[in-house]
Amino acid sequence: MYLNKQGTDTKLANDAELRLADSYFMTSQSNNAINYYQMYLGRSVPDSDYAMFQQSLCYGLVDEDQRKAVSLEKLVKQYPNSVYATDAYFELGETYMKMGKENQAENIFTAFIQDYPKSRFIKNAHIALGLIYRSQGKGKNALNQFKSVVEDFPNTAESREALGLAKIQFAELDQLTGYVDWIQTLTGTDIGQGQLDSTLYNGAYDRYSFGDCQGTLKGMTDYLNKFPDGIFRVPANYYLAECAFSKGQDSLAQMAYEFVAASGELSFRKQTVERLASLYYAKQNFEQAFYYFEQVLGLVGNADEGRRARVGLMRCAKSLEKVPVVMQYAESLLQDEALPTDWKIEALLNAARSAYELKDSANAKLYYTQVKVQIKGEAQAEATYYLAEFDFVIGKYDESNDLLFWMIENLPTYPKWRWNSLILMAKNYAGLRDDFQANYTLDFVIDNADFGDYGAQASAYKSELALQREREELNTIGVDSLSMEDFELESIEELEE
């Protein structure tokens, strides 16, 4: 109302105008404030720097950043010694940041830090410059800005903010170990060993969760070196082992898995013992592999895991030549109707061979009969040979030879079983008293076998057969002579009577 009166004193009117603008500013009526500040600035009045600064703040409140920047630039140039110049310079840098003009903002804050080291905004300027560097990918420069606030202005709100930003920057630079070392040099922080332990572990775990195994290996190794008895030493070893395993670093994986297994931690146990079983098996340490496969079998959560464990146990037992154990797990697998074909074939062959080695002829014949029907190739030749051998043992020489003829005709490409079969065929002929065919077959082996020691075996059996026949002939002559002597004795006795 006062400003509407005619003849109002100019000095008082100017003062009232400025007060009214300030009132609008204080009540958040920014557009009205801008207008009255502009009216005030349109005259030759004192405190123009103040009005210009306030007006620039109002421009920011109504999102007119360009006009705010222009106003602040004008203020700094026209009133370099104003008490508002320092604040205006800082606000100009903030405005450039908001407008996305990072290069201009960087220049402003760099100059501000150099020219106004005692300003109340110096801490904020360091943080702002650090954020600009971070946005530009200049991580080390950003870190230096954040660290300077923490180190030079401890126990302030800005130092706590800078500390959080420094932690993030250390993590982005993959230098969380450096963060821990740095924190331990500071005084006045409320960050304890437990927090540092968690920080270093969580940084490494973040790498793992993002699928960055290389970063996980470094992070978990750094954590374990820094905190060997740390809160997270068991999961750290586990995730280290998982990444080492995926990278083919088996020795490192084995060492870390062993730590987890020894800890008794249940949450990682099943995967850990599975991995250890496979690692030891790959290294042909079958005793240790068997030990861990047994643990896996006690922890399985589904049928497929149980199958894998039993297959591992069967294979380890076979390598360790524990024939009864091979038989045990092979038969266990064969009872599983959902067993994959490859594993079924392996289990069936192991069952047949184990039964044969254990002299369990009934089961050996049972399983080899299944092998002959269900499996092709060399396994079929092997099964046919042993089935023929079973017939030979019980004197079914013709049936044995029928099987051998079938095998030689249909599976001729397996020399081991071909030459074995010809020698067995000769034994069948000998059993049938057909020594001509027996010797003919043995001579064929002696003259043509170019694999293994089958020629020597045939030669040895030929000599054995000849010796056997000689003995049989001598026994026959001996029986005939004894009968004649008895006849002559009886005749003499009759004559004497």
Q: Which CATH number goes with the domain that contains 233?
A: 1.25.40.10
- Written as six digits, the tokens of 193 are 């060993």
Q: pLDDT tens-digit profile of 392-430?
A: 999 999 999 999 999 999 999 999 999 999 999 999 999
Q: How far apart are CA 415 and CA 406, in angstroms?
A: 15
What confidence score (pLDDT) does residue 8 get? 45
CATH number at residue 334: 1.25.40
Last residue of a domain, one of 318, 351, 373: 373
Q: Which of 265, 294, 317 is the last residue of a domain?
A: 265
Residues 354 and 380 in one domain: no
User: Which position has the higher pLDDT, 130 or 59?
Assistant: 130
Instruction: Tell me what the pLDDT averaged over the chain comes to.
Output: 89
Residues 245 and 296 grouped into a single domain: no
Residue 139: inside a domain, yes or no?
A: no
Is residue 235 domain-shared with residue 300, that is, in the same domain?
no
Q: Is residue 277 part of a domain?
A: no
Tokens encoding 404: 């051998």
- Burial class of residue 272 (count of CB atoms within 10 Å of its CB; 0-12, 13-18, 19+): buried
Residues 215 and 293 in one domain: no
pLDDT at residue 434 in the model = 95
Split at pLDDT 50, 70, 90, the class of 27 is confident
Distance CA 480, CA 285 (A): 66
Q: Where are the alpha helices (DSSP H) in 173-302?
A: 176-183, 193-209, 213-226, 233-246, 250-263, 269-282, 286-297
The per-residue pLDDT for 5 is 52
Report the alpha-carbon distance of residue 129 to residue 102 in Å, rounded: 9
Q: Is residue 117 part of a domain?
A: no
Which pair of tokens denotes residue 311?
């297959």
* Per-residue pLDDT tens over the stretch 95-151: 999 999 999 999 999 999 999 999 999 999 999 999 999 999 999 999 999 999 999
Residue with tokens 């392996």: 346
Structural domains in the chain (count):
3
User: pLDDT tens, 30-48?
Assistant: 788 888 778 787 777 777 8
| pLDDT tens digits, one per residue of 76-89 | 898 888 888 888 88
Cα gap 339→342, rounded to integer Å: 8
275 domain-assigned: no
Structure confidence at residue 7 (pLDDT):
43
- Does residue 413 form part of some domain? yes
Residue 323 has pLDDT above 90, yes or no: yes
In a domain, 122, yes or no: no
What pLDDT is recorded for position 478?
A: 55
| Residue 486 predicted with pLDDT over 70 | no
Looking at the chain, the whole-number percentage of residues with pLDDT higher than 70 is: 93
Based on the domain organization, do 427 and 448 belong to the same domain? Answer: yes
Query: ∠ at Cα 315 (310, 242), nearest 5°?
Result: 70
The answer to the question of residue 345 being in a domain is yes
- Please determine, for residue 489, whether its predicted confidence score (pLDDT) is greater than 50: no
Residue 496 has a pLDDT of: 46
Residues 249 and 303 in one domain: no
Can you tell me the distance from the alpha carbon of 161 to that of 50, in angstroms, rounded to the nearest whole number? 30
Average pLDDT over every residue of 176-205: 86
389 in the same domain as 439? yes
Which whole-number Å values give the CA distances from 82 to 36, 432, 449, in the listed order? 21, 128, 112
CA-to-CA distance for 86 and 76, rounded, in angstroms?
8
Q: Which of these ranges, 22-36, 448-462, 475-489, has the smallest mean pLDDT?
A: 475-489
Rounded average pLDDT over 169-181 = 88
Domain ends where: 237, 265, 293?
265
Q: What is the pLDDT of residue 32?
A: 80
Do 306 and 344 belong together in one domain? yes
pLDDT digits (tens, 9 = 90+) for 231-256: 999 999 999 999 999 999 999 999 99
DSSP assignment string, 10-61: HHHHHHHHHHHHHHHHHTT-HHHHHHHHHHHHTSS-TTHHHHHHHHHHHHHH
Same domain, yes or no, for 380 and 454?
yes
What pLDDT was estimated at residue 16? 76
Q: Residue 136 has what pLDDT?
A: 92
367 and 383, same domain (yes or no): no
Cα(205)–Cα(229) distance, integer angstroms? 17
The confidence score (pLDDT) of residue 1 equals 46
User: Based on the domain organization, do 346 and 359 belong to the same domain?
Assistant: yes
The kind and range of the H/E element at 406 are helix 397-410
- pLDDT band, very low/low/confident/very high, at 378 (cuts 50, 70, 90): very high
Q: Are 185 and 172 in contact (CB under 8 A)?
A: no
Q: Which amino acid is at 81?
A: N
**Could you tell me the residue range of the domain that residue 342 belongs to?**
284-373
Identify whether the C-beta of residue 69 lies closer than 8 Å to the C-beta of residue 95. Answer: yes
Contact 412, 404 (CB under 8 A): no
pLDDT reported for residue 439? 95
Q: Residue 83: what pLDDT?
A: 87
What residue type is assigned to position 443 of the chain? D
pLDDT of residue 281: 97
Q: Does some domain include residue 199?
A: yes
